[in-house]
């Protein structure tokens, strides 16, 4: 008689995050003070490269290590969802060489890091517009998504070819088409039903919106999801940031009172 494997033995073994090279550990906060979802505007790559006399592309390459370290730090402190602004719908306005580099770079990062992310229990989810996105990049995003779909430690939303206004426009077009097909009644729409038309309906609301480089704007990122997010703008260029930057932002977040419109 063949014995059934226990649920414990069937459970995937997860690799813990690598400690920071300095040995620093996360600040001790009440779990209720930890944001569930952190949005990242990874700004300052170009300025970092310029300061060092390097091409802009070198800044993007350096920024990859920052994102990876922040993923490790997010797991350590207990964040459950990260959204990284990897390529916006406005980034198509950049030089053809930089656009080409960013497209290829996103592919390389996915190929190089997806197994490591998978081992740590990270679920990779693509969020963005399919139109104009390179076929190869879309293929790699979907493969990473499929590989990691059952992971539960942390969700990493890779926002590639994403724009908040584009998302709302695409949702409005989809709703209009469904209204014409009599699949939805416009008068019965609610925030809950509209959310189903967004790129990633399962995405939770953003609690902490973190932008590096000292710029104080949201740049069309997760406009719907960030309606009640706490904004933290830190004066550090993205390649110089690491998990300690995330933890500092979380400490600032923990000191704030969130009322959601209540007195």
Write out the binding residues for substrate.
44-48, 56, 60, 88-90, 92, 94, 211, 217-219
Q: Is 207 a catalytic site residue?
A: no
Yes or no: say if 215 and 157 are a contact pair by the CB < 8 Å rule: no
Q: Which residues of 140-170 are buried (b: 16+ CB within 10 A; e: fewer)?
A: bbeebbebbeebebbbbbbbbbbbbebbeeb
Yes or no: say if 206 and 83 are a contact pair by the CB < 8 Å rule: yes
* Residue 212 burial (CB count, 10 A): 26
Length of the chain: 263
Would strands 122-127 and 154-162 be described as parallel, antiparallel, or unpaired? parallel
Write out the binding residues.
43-48, 56, 60, 88-90, 92, 94, 211, 217-219, 230
Q: Is 187 a catalytic site residue?
A: no
Q: Which two tokens stand for residue 166?
A: 């584009």
* Residue 6 burial (CB count, 10 A): 8
Q: Which two tokens stand for residue 104?
A: 């290829």
Write out the binding residues for Mg(2+).
43, 230
In the chain, count H helices and then E strands.
8, 6
Q: Quick one: the chain helix, strand, coil %, rounded to 5?
A: 45, 15, 40
Q: Give me the catalytic one of 69, 91, 207, 235.
A: 91
Q: Give me the catalytic one of 30, 36, 43, 150.
A: 43
List residues with catalytic annotation. Answer: 43, 91
């Amino acid at each position: 008689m063949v014995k059934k494997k226990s649920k414990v033995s069937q459970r995937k073994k997860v690799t813990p995050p690598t400690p920071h090279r300095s040995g620093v550990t996360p600040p001790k906060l009440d779990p209720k003070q930890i944001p569930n979802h952190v949005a990242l505007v990874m700004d300052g790559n170009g300025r970092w490269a310029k300061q060092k006399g390097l091409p802009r592309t070198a800044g993007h390459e350096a920024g990859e290590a920052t994102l990876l370290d922040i993923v490790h730090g997010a797991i350590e402190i207990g964040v459950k969802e990260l959204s990284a602004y990897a390529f916006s719908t406005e980034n198509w306005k950049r030089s053809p060489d930089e656009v080409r580099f960013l497209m290829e770079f996103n592919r390389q990062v996915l190929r190089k890091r997806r197994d490591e992310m998978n081992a740590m229990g990270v679920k990779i989810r693509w969020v963005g517009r399919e139109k104009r996105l390179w076929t190869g990049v879309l293929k790699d995003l979907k493969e990473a998504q499929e590989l990691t779909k059952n992971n539960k430690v942390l969700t990493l939303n890779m926002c590639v070819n994403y724009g908040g206004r584009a998302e709302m426009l695409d949702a409005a077009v989809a709703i209009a088409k469904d209204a014409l097909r009599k699949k939805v009644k416009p008068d019965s729409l609610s925030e809950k039903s509209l959310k189903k038309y967004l790129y990633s309906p399962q995405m939770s609301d953003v609690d902490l919106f973190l932008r590096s480089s000292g710029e104080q704007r949201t740049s069309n990122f997760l406009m719907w999801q960030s309606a009640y997010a706490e904004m933290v703008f830190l004066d550090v260029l993205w390649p110089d940031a690491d998990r300690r930057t995330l933890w500092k932002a979380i400490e600032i977040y923990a000191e704030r009172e969130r009322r959601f419109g209540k007195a």
